[in-house]
Amino acid sequence: MEKNTNYLVGVFGDEDIMIKAVKALRKKGVNIYEVFTPYPVHFLEDALGYKRSWMPKAAFGFGALGTTCAILLQSWIMGFEWPMIIGGKGFIAIPDFVPITFELTVLFSAFGMAGSFFVSQDLKPHKVPQIFDRRQSDDKHIMAIDLANNKLSEEEIKALLSESGAEEVNNKSFTEKEKKGNFFDYVADLFTNGVTDSARELKG
């Protein structure tokens, strides 16, 4: 089964005009899907109303999990499973656990952050790369608006974009295959069809 998503794409040549347009459209109640810029633009996140990312909290949580696992693992091994007296110290010598605890904390945090990023960005097999305009990595600022997620009509949003200074207003649609399956199906597809489909879509 395939899912079609239709967008309106506003093309801006100046970042100041684009930020003013973002504020104007949000003031009119338009939900902006995403804005793409060829370089970082200050205050764009504020104009879009983005909240602070939850990724640092995820890093802390995974790091705390790594610390807990490291201490429990070393305590169980050195204190119960394979007790050894090293240098006259006790079986559970917490100061000696610091190096491995530090390493596992960093390892859990790094892998947890990577996994959180993939989940938060919805990077999965059969996900069609959404390239709204190839100039978004060159010299233009691109504003994408999901038509299905707005109460205003397509013509009204087009008029607002034009009045806000958009050089072009284009239509863009994506077709995504809706595939149901568990995590292991997605991983299997990633190594079989997912990469090929994405590469073909980029090439096309």
| Span 140-160, pLDDT tens digits | 999 999 998 888 899 999 999
**What integer pLDDT is reported at residue 187 of this predicted model?**
63
- Res. 195 pLDDT band, cuts 50 70 90: very low
Helix %, strand %, coil % for the chain, to 5?
Answer: 55, 15, 30
Amino acid identity of residue 151, one-letter, is K
pLDDT average, residue stretch 178-201: 56
DSSP strand E in 32-186: where? 34-36, 141-146, 168-177
Residue with tokens 């633009």, as numbered in its chain: 41
Give start and end residues of each alpha helix (H) in 77-129. 98-120
pLDDT, tens digit, for every residue of 18-41?
999 999 999 999 999 999 999 999
**Sequence-ordered list of residues with C-beta below 8 angstroms from that of 96, at least 6 positions apart, any chain:** 86, 89
Amino acid identity of residue 105, one-letter, is T
Tell me which of 43-52, 77-86, 148-157 is least confident. Answer: 77-86
Check if the beta carbon of residue 48 is closer than 8 Å to that of residue 33: no
% residues pLDDT > 70 (the chain): 84
**Sequence-ordered list of residues with C-beta below 8 angstroms from that of 141, at least 6 positions apart, any chain:** 11, 12, 13, 14, 15, 18, 35, 36, 37, 38, 41
Residue with tokens 């990577």, as numbered in its chain: 114
Give the DSSP letter of residue 54. Answer: S
- Res. 78 pLDDT band, cuts 50 70 90: confident
Kindly tell me the burial class for residue 96, based on how many C-beta atoms sit within 10 Å of its own C-beta (0-12, 13-18, 19 or more): middle
Look at the alpha carbons of 175, 179, 182, 183 in this order and tell me if their dihedral is positive or negative: negative
